């Protein structure tokens, strides 16, 4: 269920169709909702090495940082970033 989040956390930005294709490669013949790490690692390693999916678009990334910039000053401090990444 969380494969999209996992793949995106690795810096990939696949379409929903691409996620379904990836899932078909790593899922058991009888879908259980779980993926075995032994099947996932080689497939995901190949995806990363081949750069199979486009990276997150700059405008999406920029929008995420703008949402964190509460003071609308055009940047966030190191301390704010650490707080968001560890506490929020």
For the record, the structure tokens of 85 come out as 């990444």
36 and 12 share a domain? Answer: yes
6 and 21 share a domain? Answer: yes
Q: For residue 25, give every residue at least 6 positions away whose Cβ sits within 8 Å of its Cβ, in sequence order, or none.
A: 39, 43
Domain that holds residue 18: 2-50
Reported confidence tier of residue 78, pLDDT bands at 50, 70, 90: very high
Contact 44, 7 (CB under 8 A): yes
Q: Which of 3, 86, 81 is nearest to 47 (CA)?
A: 3
7 and 33 share a domain? Answer: yes
- Does the pLDDT at position 1 exceed 70? no
Q: Is 47 helix (H, G, I), strand (E, B) or coil?
A: helix
Give the pLDDT confidence score for residue 10 in this predicted structure.
86
| Cα 31-36-41 angle, rounded to 5 deg | 125
Reported confidence tier of residue 88, pLDDT bands at 50, 70, 90: low
Provide the whole-model pTM. Answer: 0.57
For the stretch 19-72, pLDDT in tens is 989 888 888 777 777 888 898 899 999 988 988 888 888 888 888 889 889 889
């Amino acid at each position: 269920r969380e494969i999209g989040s996992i793949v995106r956390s690795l810096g990939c930005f696949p379409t929903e169709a691409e996620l379904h294709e990836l899932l078909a490669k790593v899922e058991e013949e009888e879908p259980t909702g779980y993926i075995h790490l032994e099947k996932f690692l080689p497939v995901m390693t190949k995806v990363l090495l081949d750069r199979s999916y486009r990276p997150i678009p700059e405008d999406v990334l920029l929008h995420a940082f703008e949402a964190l910039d509460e003071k609308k000053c055009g940047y966030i401090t190191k301390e704010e970033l650490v707080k968001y990444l560890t506490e929020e």
